[in-house]
Chain A
Amino acid sequence: MTPTLCRSALGAVCLMPLLLHAAGPQPDLTALPLEQLMSLEVVTASRFPQRVSEAPGTVTVITSDDIRVYGYRTLADALRSVPGLHVSYDRNYSYIGVRGLATTGDYNSRVLLLIDGVRANDNIYDQASLGSDFPIDLDLVERIEFAHGPGSSVYGGNALFGVINVITRSGADLAGGEATVGAGSGRALQGRASWGRRFDNGTEILVSASGLRSRGGDLTYPELAPLGVAGGVVRGLDYDRNRQFLAQFAHGSWGLQLVHAERTKGIPTAAFDTAPGAAGNFTKDSNSSVALRYDGPLRGDTDLAARAYYGRYRYSGDYVYDVPPLVINRDLADGRWWGVEARVVSSAWQGHKIVAGAEYQSDTRKEQANFDVNPRAVYLQDRRRGERFGVFAQDETMLRRDLRLNAGVRYDHVDGGRGIFNPRAALIYTPAPRTSFKLIHGRAYRAPNAYELFYAAPGPGGQKGNPELRPERIRTTELALEYFTFAGWRLAGSVFQHQVRDQIAAIIDPGDGLQVFRNGGSVRSSGATAEVEHLWSSGAKLRASYSHQRALDGAGNWAVNSPRHLLKLNAAVPLGAGLRAGMELQHTSVRRSLAGEVPAFTLANFNLLVPLGVRGDELSFALYNVFDKRYADPGGPEHLQDRIPQDGRTVFGRLRIRF
């Protein structure tokens, strides 16, 4: 204790460290290199705050500053900048591909989406909503973490290709009111009003409401011309509207989060053989959730995190068929679930960091229906319940001063099926403070979902259920290197191999012509990623990555929707007077589509931030696809279009004010 420092300080403040010290000696942290002190703590990879360099796996972090400076408007936009990821859009939903693994006609059921650590995939399609249907406004996101590779050893089902954890801002982050208005191409209008603060007693509150309304541009589909659409041009069908509400309360170790969002999207592509050019094709997705959380110490060296949650997902799709006359076929899904989970993080045993937990989820409703509205004809009415249960444990232990082993396993039991074990082990070698090598091997799975098991609609082009489906599994091996140069450059690289077994995929049963999901063969992907990142003293930053990936389908052919090369460049530069510019370049190589190929393309995006005044008011102006590049994504089996053309150059301007 330094007397000089305590002479003027209050006695109690000087006594406290003494009491704290009685619990055990504190290590001298000043002996550690800055990077080790500083490397971001990550909640995703092992479910406890952990530094990126220690996470068993490669984690990419997108910060709220990245979201602002690069002008990301959807979670899908932000994920496009992650090494090895590519996102396709069919003008209804956004679909993520990871390290060359992507399936057409799957609703992102192979990535786990977490919002503040709570599962956000629904319980019918296991869908991860990444586009305008993602329930949280990106302005309210503090960071997005993408943990590459299998996460089932901690998180359970659906964490096959990776885990997306979206961490929201708190009331203290907001510290006042904030409002935005924006407008852009496709007659898009967007607005948000938020307010948050931390009160003197420690209570934090955040409330926010946002909305988007976009007419969408006119689109040309030559495939529709022979079907009676003049010139193949569809007008006013690409509309997109959403509403998002978020409320958060926190006090001490407790937190409560309420989310409600709904999104209505027109379907311009005449998907599922609907009447081409008809105005009544749309989907409406609603997500609502309540989560109560507790994060606090059990004892000095053991923390408890507990969650109780309720979730509801509703989907309604109107599909207009020219029978004739025009008939509206309505497709409905209603999923409801609640769950509890608890985990402890303990360092009570010297040299070990143990995480153990259990989770129970009750699917109180998994309902699917399909019927013609008028004349009414019911084709499907299927309502089920279900439950899932999982327990897991993970230990990180130091084998040598420079060598650590992180090993864990989770056991899951879903809806009376057979139990399934998913282990993961990582060996982390740190020969020098700024260098780490990680060798990771892990398995992950997903259980077949209600849609794949039970959806059935008779007749031509229909579908039938398959209750015999088995879980789909993946096995991944990865070697990753991370190195910080003395000047602060981060260099990272990895080589990986993924092998999917019993892949659940849709085929047409030759016996009756109906679509059915079956466990297929083995899909493999292997490749390598290299990444470089730097931040200059001027405030400029740069992140660049290249991924080479080779994915083969069950028959040993080049997999559909799997680019071999992905090149990404993100740069932000200060322009003086507080102005900042963010630029992105993204190259996606040629991909196989269901019937042919879609060509390679390079996109450039540009965003300018203009500060107004001192309160943090800001004007932003974004140009997406600056060079108006014509490009397309492969269409899924429900589309007539083998290639789905994407937007040319679009603009979006926005004003943010704080009060």
Chain B
Amino acid sequence: VESLSIQESVLSDELLRRLIAMGEVDVLVGLATYNNAGTVGHVVRAAQTAFAKYFQRERTALLVVDAGSRDGTLEAVRSTQVPEPSPVLASSALRTVHQIAVPYHGVPGKASALRSILSAAELSRARVSVVVGSDSCGVTPEWIGALVRAVREDGFDFVSPLYHRHKLEALLPKNLVSPMIRGLYGISLREPLGGENALSARLITHLLGQSFWEVEAVRSGIELSLPLTAAVGGFRLCELALGRRESGRGGRVPVSAVVEQVVGSLFTCLDLHQSYWQAVRQQAEVPVIGKLPQHASEPMRISRKPMLDRFRSAVSELGSILENILSMETLSETRALASLSDRDVRFPDELWVRTVYDCAASYHGAVIHRAHVLQALTPLYLGRAGAFVVDNLERDAADVDLRLEELCLAFERLKPYLLERWKAMDGR
């Protein structure tokens, strides 16, 4: 009864009416859209093809929840033609494939959209739910099929994607989010910010009962809280090798906003899960399904100088703020690093880990306003990213992976440092 009342409050009247008319389903694919008219048709076709190709006997549904797009996204969804059975496909769904495309109600944002999708999945008793990024042009029917199989056949509760990435791409997850999660939660997730995920019914019920949906700092980077909450709840996680993800995620958003959303969400999760990660002593295995080809090694145009310049000017301009956040030792080493030339600059792993841990502890202790901690971290991250590019530009992808492994180990090794600083903040 409680679950139903939560769903009722999350779902709009129209969506609720459509879901009741639809009844129960086995597989639900959900998309959260906002001005994605250009890409959503491809994703819808991929989902419909997957239903026809892999789930002919299943009750399937495609749910598109829209945040009020003005570019005709919903019309694009409705006008997308379901592919006819082709000689290659040679099959079509034997049962009705449901498709619902509605605007959602509530606070605009990905968290509300995701909550609507998960609530709809719970209400329609979907055994497997797949959440797909609406801006992803690389989604294929095979991806959706593999995501569903990982839950239904292999028994995992949360399937995290594994993409084929350039060695110098995704610098924030590689240098901060992923190694920090590994160091503290003891789980290895290379794409913790998701994109395409699959979730079991029991995990969805667990997630919908959590309080993080109401925490603003978590809502802004909601993707992170799903695997972390699943890990804390003892659910089975795995990584699934998908392929190249074609999207411009974060490309147009200022880096300070990206850091504020993603790292703010991670640091807030640390607060929510502190009793869990503080007790973690060893790594938990996260199985990997499938294998990716070698990293793409085509040349990539990256301006590292602006990143390093912003780092340098931050060390001088934001000195009074950094003094509140970083330990004396970390700050003095950071100042020494800022005095080096572009060619010589190397951001040592240990210094970077201490910088991140200092920021996490300061965020926890609210030594200054929490948003200010994240804004001060942004240029430090740019320094690390710039140095990472300088250091790895000429290395091959396998070598870069080895160096990232060393970074993960540094995050694990320095966990006592964070615990010490965390407790110092609690004891103030």
Are both chains from one complex? no
* Chain A interface residues (CB < 8 Å from chain B): none
Q: Which residues of B contact A (CB under 8 A)?
A: none
